[in-house]
Amino acid sequence: MKYLNHIIEAVGNTPLVKLNNVTDGVKATVLAKVEYFNPGNSVKDRMAVKMIEDAEKAGLLKPGGTIIEGTSGNTGMGLALAAIAKGYKCIFTLSDKQSKEKMDVLRAVGAEVIVCPTNVAPDHPDSYYSVAKRLNQEIPNSFYPNQYDNTSNAAAHYETTGPELWDQTDGKITHFITGVGTGGTVSGTSKYLKEKNPDLITVGIDTYGSVFKKYKETGEFDEKEIYPYATEGIGEDILPKNVDFDMIDSFVKVTDKDGAVMTRRLAKEEGLFVGWSCGSAVYGALEYIKQQNLTEDDVVVVLLPDHGTRYLAKIYNDEWMRQQGYID
């Protein structure tokens, strides 16, 4: 009989799908790594399982323990699935800009959800970073994975995402493009691919209101770059240890609106019902391809991190899109 012992064994080996319509006029082959095929519907399942298993091996997470994490939603889902498989409890802190669907799905899989204000500094006591750290200190037998600085995050992608892409493209991948948030996906995957092909180009997709692009280009952490933005899952107002800027050749910034509109196009024109930052990644990839005049010899892989069900009340709601001025 062929079956999995638990749902987390279904993580990884997601398909690579060619984009055919939104790429009109583009000469390069553009392939989407569709991560919503993971059981938690996002790329974060990979590193969530890795962080938990590494913590168990290190004795940081003990039977009956509580996993406490600050998340934009997707990492929480991956951690929750791992917790169900292994018998842990979960408490997640989210900023109030995250979609209601993300909060509801976390509660559905048994997690406690604490909603924190978005528009406060990272070190403010009410930020979702600070609240998670405080709860970890207060609750006995708890573990704070800290996806931003936990090296198991990037290691998961070095061990799985990178090898998958190399195998799926038969080593022909020339460009890897993905959104950058915690930095684990871009850094771990890029490290593996660059070891295989030092000429490979990695492009990070950033959002306006985030510090990454300017920091890469100038080495300066400019607080003036930080301001509220709506796109979920990419960009940061901190520099996570998992962001290895040596593994990222350049950044492209994408507006909230351009990402949102492209997300809708991917659903309608490609049949890919994906999340907001997926649209940002594809929009940024197409801008980069045009700027660099990529040719038929180039194979571009764009990673699409999550599923559209996380954004039904936002991106896929016409009234909400009109209120934001994203559509007429």
What is the number of alpha carbons within 13 Å of residue 290 lying toward its C-beta? 10
Quick check: is 154 in a domain?
Answer: no
At 122 the pLDDT is 87
314 catalytic per annotation: no
Number of residues that make up the chain:
328
- Listed residues 92, 113, 143: the one ending a domain: 143
Pull the structure tokens for residue 74.
């997707």
pLDDT surpassing 90 at residue 284? yes
CATH number for 131 = 3.40.50.1100
Average pLDDT over residues 136-144: 96
Per-residue pLDDT band for 98 (boundaries 50, 70, 90) equals confident
In angstroms, the CA 96 to CA 138 distance is 23
Quick check: is 149 in a domain?
Answer: no
> Residue 187: which of 172, 174, 202, 208 has the closest Cα?
202
pLDDT surpassing 90 at residue 107? yes
Residues 193 and 287 in one domain: yes
For the stretch 217-266, pLDDT in tens is 999 999 999 999 999 999 999 999 999 999 999 999 999 999 999 999 99
Angle of helix 276-292 relative to helix 256-265, nearest 10 degrees, comes to 100
Quick check: is 166 in a domain?
Answer: yes
In angstroms, the CA 242 to CA 132 distance is 18
Phi-psi region of 293 (alpha: psi -120 to 50; beta: other; left: phi over 0): left
pLDDT surpassing 90 at residue 99? no
Quick check: is 328 in a domain?
Answer: no
Please pick, among 2, 18, 33, 44, the residue that the annotation labels catalytic: 44
For the stretch 146-182, pLDDT in tens is 999 999 999 999 999 999 999 999 999 999 999 999 9
User: Across the chain, what does the average pLDDT equal?
Assistant: 96
Residues 200 and 267 in one domain: yes
b/e sequence 95-122, b meaning 16+ C-beta within 10 Å = beebbebbbebbeeeebebbbbeeeeee
Domain count, the chain: 2
Give the structural domain span for 88.
Answer: 44-143
At 100 the pLDDT is 87
Per-residue pLDDT band for 119 (boundaries 50, 70, 90) equals confident
Per-residue pLDDT band for 97 (boundaries 50, 70, 90) equals confident
- 299-304 β-sheet, strand order: 16-18, 29-34, 299-304, 175-179, 201-207, 250-254
- pLDDT-above-90 percentage for the chain: 95
pLDDT surpassing 90 at residue 29? yes
- According to DSSP, the residues that pair with 201 across neighbouring strands are 175
Residues 178 and 296 in one domain: yes
Residues 100 and 194 in one domain: no
